[in-house]
Structures are given as structure tokens and as C-alpha cells.
Structure 1
Amino acid sequence: MIKILYNVLKTKRKRLLFIGIIMIICILAIGIYRLVYQKGVVSDKKLVTAIHAIDVKKEDIVKNISLVGQTIPKEQVDVAAKYAGRIDSVDAELGQKVTAGQVLIREDSNDAALSVDVNRHAYNQAAADEQTAQAQLDANYNKAKADYDKALATYQRNSQVYAVGGISADDMDAARQQMQDAEAALSAIENQMNAGTASSVLSAQENMAKARSSLTAAQRQENDMTLISSIDGTVGYRQVEAGDMVTVGQKLMSIYDNSSIYVDYQVSEEDLPAFSVGMSLPVNIESLHDTFNGSVIYVSPTIDTTSMTYILRVSLDNANGALKGGMFARAALKSVLRSDVLAVPKAAVLAKNGKNYVFVIKADNTAERREVTVGTAGDDAVEILGGLSGGENIAVDNLSRLRDGLKVDILTDGSDAA
């Protein structure tokens, strides 16, 4: 009985073991199947790349040009001391409006006035000396001319008398010698002439001219002690008071004319063709939160070799006086580089090894890599000169994942390409 029970239990254990082995084999088979199937699905999915695509068409190639600069007054004049000295008075206040020719500052001019007086006397003396030299020359010349004329007349008369034996040879020789001496004296005076003026007179005239120049310089120095405004404007800087001692070239005051305001912009060579003298250009002044009408009045004829840019000057209307010098000024211009040309987004062009490619999406939703020739480039688009035709469909993203013959899934606008 016990033996029979043992055999039964042994057989049942074998059956359970067998069933367990079968179950483990089934589970492993199911796992392997699922793993292989999922890999196949993933592999199939990887063969399809999601992209966005557009149709190739004609459009304008546009570039947005942004300029940044600062406002500059129409004129700025710095008033500086031409001579060292003490300030007598300051006749213009900070912020005061002044006109051209208005007195701003007076320096002590006593020494300058004394110098003018001394040089005036020196000039008067030189003028008198010139008159004396001229009068003396005229007197000497007239006397020499009269002596010569008299000696010549005596010689001619004696020659006639000598011819008939009325005088001796010695008398004739004496008359000839007297005439020759008078002629030599006259020639000596005439030889002093230089372009019609005797050297003695010319020297006196040069001394007089020198004295006149010294007088003019002294008078100019006296005048320069009074500093005036050369323009209409507003006192924007004042650093001087009555009684101050100033040095040569010391800046004392500045006058600003804000009736017109300019802005100078630096423009690159590639952007320069978009601008021309006379064109309108709105300028935004950030501090005023306002935009002012501007007009291009100057384009530099040559490039600045330091910054490698061209200077563009824009004039702003400042009739209301709101604009001041040094304000931050922005300007923007949408420049059409090329009109109505075949163009594609920059993102659709793949550059590799010096060549440019796009991926054309064929009717069966497969990609075809095609070499293209590009032209002018704007901010977002680039001109296509060859390799594409209008209406063809091209990929605009995920280019790095594409290759010839690869299936693509064209996404609708707004969805992300994975």
C-alpha cells in the first residue's frame, strides 16, 4: 500500500515539473516574439522621417537693416581763451539763448590796449619816415637833374664857341668834365630805383608795413580779449566766473544750435545700396518714445578704414525743440534686395563641401537630394538661380536626417517634426 502511494506521488511530481517547463518555454517564446516584433515596428518607423514642406514659388528677397546712433546738434561752438589773463566779466548764463555776435566773456584788456597805443605810435613814426625819405629822394633827384641840365647846356654852348676858337681847349675840357660829373650824380640816384622806387624809400616803406602789421596784431589781440558767439544758440556749458585766471586754449563756454538735429549712422558696404541722399527715414528716439521724420542728407563717398563702414547722416525736424544732442536714435529699413524671384527659406538649403542642396519631396513622399545654385540672400529667404522649378515641393526642416529615397511624413503647419 505504501509503495503504491509513493509511485503515485512520484508520477504527479513529474507531471507538475513537465507542466512547469512547458509554461516557462511558452513565456520565453512570447517574450522573444514581442521583442522581435517591436524592433521591427521601430525599425519601420525609423524609415519614415517627419518633416515640414513648402511649394517653391516666386517672392521678394527682403533684408531688414537696423541702424543705431546718437543725435548731434546742428552746430556746437566751444568758446576758449586765446590769451592768458584775468576775466573781467561773464555776460551769458547757462541755458541762455544767444545770437551771433553777442558778447559772452570779457578779459582784462588793459595790457593789450597799451600795446596797441605803442604800436600805433611806432606806425605813425614809420609813416613819417617814409614820407621824409620820399621827399629827400625827390629833392636830391631834382637837384641832380637841374645840375646835369645846366652842365649839359654849358657844355653844348662851349662846344659852339670852341668851334670858332672863342675858348681854349682847357676850358672846353673843364666844361665836358663838369657835364660828365653832373650826369654821374644823376645816374647814381636813378640807379637806386627798384621798379621805379628808390631803395631808401623802399626800406622806409617796408618799415612802415612792418609797423602796420604789428599794430594790426595788437589791435586783434585787444579785440580777442572780448569773446563773442559765432552762432545763434543756447549756452550749454559754462565753466568761468568774473575774476578767474584763465590759460591759453582753456574751454570756458559752449554754444549749441539745436534748431536742426542730425544722426550719424555707420552702414556696412553690403547695406549701402539701400540708401540714397534725399530718401525719407523714420528715426525712433527711445528716451522720448517717439518717432521723428528723417531725411538722408549725406552718404560718405569713401569707406572708413578703421571701422570698415560708411557714414550716413540723417537730418531730423526739431521744430518743437524736443530733440537734444546725445539721444539714442534707432532707424530700421526693409530693403528689397531682389523682386519677384524664385526663392526658398534659408533653412531649406543644406550647404556641404562648397555646394548647396535641397531635398525635393516627390509624389510618392520620398526625398530626392538635388544640387541648386543660390543667388542673393535675405534675412529669411535665398534666391534660387538654378536646380529648382516653381511649384516643386521641398523639405524645410530635419534635413540632416534625410537622404535619397527616404520616406517622409509631411506634417501640417503647427506640428513639430521629431
Structure 2
Amino acid sequence: MIQSCKQKEEKQLKDEPPVVTVGTIQSSETEESVVYSGSIVPDNMTTVSFAVTGTINNVSVNEGQKVSKGQFLASIDATEYEAALQIANATLEQSEDAFRRFDELYKKGSFPEKDYIDIKTKVAQAQANKKINKKRIADSRLMSPTNGIITVKSAEIGGMAAPGVPAFTIVKTDLVYAQFSVPESEIGNFKQGMQVEVNIPTLQRNFTGKITIINPVADEISKAYTLKVRLDNSGGILMPGMISEVSAGIPAKVKQVRVPLTAIINNVDKIPHVYVIDKNNNAKLTRVTVGKIAGDEVIITNGLDENQTIILAGQNNVKEGQKVKTETASAKAPTAKTE
């Protein structure tokens, strides 16, 4: 009998709705700078190719590798150019020997001027031929023209190299730009040298830079102007292609919905949700889109409406659709009015 009463009491406790702390959502008006979406672009992108034709016999770098100016990248088989240089040296030696012998005769008037000019011409041609072949041998070794990162490697051992055929692409990233577009109606708010804030969502970091480039020609289709903010990247954490958000222009008044961080529930897929209480006191799990974190609160950009009631605390004991017993918070949250 005693055991039966205990089981009955436990069942009643189990069926009792969980007690949760709730608050009513209220939006607040704040001034925010206009945010322009863009991306990080490199300071310089260089396509490197061989100046001579040949078969590639050595490649010493890979994609993603940092290189320094003057660093060896790749080479081609220079056997043919080395042989041509030997021939050029022999021809030059022969021409210079002939010139020395006939020079004295010419000065004494014992050698025809026409033949003397031919010999001088052959010496000049041999010297030029030697320089050309020495340069071809030097050009068979490809060096990096700048500091940067190899982003494309087209050169492979055994492949053919030729002038104008890209072997590598090198991106200079010690300085980068946050590039964004501004519509014609707003371009007057921007000046060269203007300081702006750049947020990189991937890194969850803000950077400060100055607008260094304002393209004076608008895009033919969008009629928008391209602007660039120069950012120091000596640490190499900013990579081309990263999404950037540039806060600039004249601040505008916007409405924001903020909730305490403790109200947010992340599901197994790390998607944020909150529990919204309906008129029957049932808890409904609602997906939300979160923005920036402001202290112990987070800005909700989508998913909640003003005057909705949400669970602020105690949601860990709640299941989807479950009836709950509500109580007001002991202290009023800045953006959630307690009932």
C-alpha cells in the first residue's frame, strides 16, 4: 500500500509541467552603420611562365607554399642551349682570332676595307649569339618574381614549357584588400582615405582599414562602384576569397531583437533555436538566425517577432510541444520584457 502511494506520487511529479522562466520579446532601436558585403582580394596576382621552350625536368614548389622573391621554382632541360653556347663560344673565339690577325694588316693598308668590315661583323654576330644563348640557359631556370603564395601550379615534370604558357600563379598576400560594391545613390558618402571597420565572419574578427581605391567607373549592369579597403596581413590570416563585411557610410536607425545567450539552444547540427510559448502554454522549438554577440546577449536577425514569449531559463527540461508552467524572471532583461 505504501509502495503504491509512492508510485502514484512519483507519477504525479513526473506529469507535472516543468517550471520555466519566460520573457516577452521587445525590439529596440539603435543606430548602425550600413554594412556592405564583399570579399578579400590579394594585393597582387602574378602569372609566371618560362621565357624559353623546353621540357620541364625539375619542379621544387607546390600549391599553397610560400615563396620569396628570387626563389627557384622550376627548370627545363637546357642541354640544347648549353650546346648552342659552346658553338657560340667557339665561333666567337675564331672570329676574334681572325680579327686580331687582319686588324694589323688593315691598319697598314694591306687588307681590303670590305673584307675587314665583314670580319668585324662576324665578331659582333658571334658576341650577340653568345649573349642570346647565355640568356636562354639562365631563362631555363624559373625564379619567383615576388614574395607570395603559390595558388596554381601548372608546371609538371615531363611537361612542355613555352613562352606565355602559365607555369605558376603567385598571390601576394602580405597586403590584401576588402573589396565591396556601393550603389550610385550612396557613393557620395565615401571618400578616399576614409577609415572603416571590416568584419571577417569566418575569423570572427574585426579589422580597421582605410579606403584606398574608389573605381571611378560604375559597372555597366549593376551601376555600382567598386571600392577597396587596404588591410595589413603580415600574419597571413586573411586569405583571398574570404567573405568580408564593411561597416561604413551614414549610420541608420534599425530595430533589433536581442535575447540572452542562455535562451539559445543548439541542436545536433549546431543550428540555433529558442522555445516560444504559445497561448496554451505549450513550448514550440523555433529556429532562429543569430547575428553579432553583444555582451551576454545575441542579436536575432530572423525567426522571432516582437511580443512573442520565449523561455529564458529552464528549457533543458522541456520537450517540443510540452505544456510548461511559466514564471517571470527576477530581473528584467534589456530586450526581453518579463511578464
* TM-score, length-scaled by structure 2: 0.55
Q: Which amino acid aligns with 1:251?
A: P
Matched, 1:246 2:160: yes
| Match of residue 249 from structure 2 | 334
C-alpha separation between the residues in 2 aligned to 1:205 and 1:323? 60
C-alpha separation between the residues in 2 aligned to 1:313 and 1:227? 32
Q: Secondary structure at the match of 1:293?
A: strand
- From 60, 63, 66, give the equivalent of 1:94: 63
| Match of residue 131 from structure 2 | 216
C-alpha separation between the residues in 1 aligned to 2:148 and 2:207? 22
C-alpha separation between the residues in 1 aligned to 2:76 and 2:109? 51
Classify 1:136/1:319 alpha carbon distance in 2 versus 1 (closer, same or farther; 3 Å): same
Count of matched residue pairs? 220
Q: Secondary structure at the match of 1:320?
A: coil
Q: Secondary structure at the match of 2:151?
A: strand
Q: Which amino acid aligns with 2:125?
A: K
Matched, 1:122 2:91: yes
What is the correspondence of 1:387-398 to structure 2 with a 5 Å cutoff?
A: none
Q: Which has the higher strand share?
A: 2
Matched, 1:103 2:18: no
Deviation of 1:117 after TM superposition, in Å, equals 1.3
C-alpha separation between the residues in 2 aligned to 1:283 and 1:72? 13
Q: Secondary structure at the match of 2:109?
A: helix
| Match of residue 12 from structure 1 | none
Structure 1: where are the runs of 5+ without partners? 1-61, 144-188, 190-197, 337-418
C-alpha separation between the residues in 2 aligned to 1:66 and 1:132? 81
**8 Å Cα contact 1:267-1:310 kept in structure 2:** yes
| Match of residue 234 from structure 1 | 149
| Match of residue 414 from structure 1 | none
| Match of residue 256 from structure 1 | 171
C-alpha separation between the residues in 2 aligned to 1:123 and 1:304? 59
Deviation of 1:211 after TM superposition, in Å, equals 2.6
| Match of residue 416 from structure 1 | none
* TM-score, length-scaled by structure 1: 0.46
C-alpha separation between the residues in 1 aligned to 2:229 and 2:116? 61
Classify 1:280/1:121 alpha carbon distance in 2 versus 1 (closer, same or farther; 3 Å): same
Q: Secondary structure at the match of 1:292?
A: strand
Q: Secondary structure at the match of 1:116?
A: helix
Q: Whose radius of gyration is greater, 1 or 2?
A: 1
Report the identity percentage.
21
Q: Can you list the C-alpha shifts for 1:296-325, whole angstroms capped at 9, x where unaligned?
A: 22234x425745554422111224322101
C-alpha separation between the residues in 2 aligned to 1:207 and 1:272? 65
| Match of residue 320 from structure 1 | 235
C-alpha separation between the residues in 2 aligned to 1:202 and 1:265? 65
Matched, 1:80 2:49: yes
Deviation of 1:110 after TM superposition, in Å, equals 0.8
C-alpha separation between the residues in 1 aligned to 2:118 and 2:165? 41
RMSD of equivalent CA atoms: 3.3
Classify 1:299/1:210 alpha carbon distance in 2 versus 1 (closer, same or farther; 3 Å): farther
Q: Secondary structure at the match of 1:303?
A: coil
Q: Secondary structure at the match of 2:239?
A: coil
C-alpha separation between the residues in 2 aligned to 1:72 and 1:200? 63
Deviation of 1:295 after TM superposition, in Å, equals 1.4
Q: Secondary structure at the match of 1:89?
A: strand
Deviation of 1:218 after TM superposition, in Å, equals 1.3
**8 Å Cα contact 1:63-1:334 kept in structure 2:** no
C-alpha separation between the residues in 2 aligned to 1:221 and 1:121? 18
| Match of residue 265 from structure 1 | 180
**8 Å Cα contact 1:292-1:317 kept in structure 2:** no
Q: Which amino acid aligns with 1:118?
A: I
Deviation of 1:294 after TM superposition, in Å, equals 1.7
Matched, 1:280 2:249: no
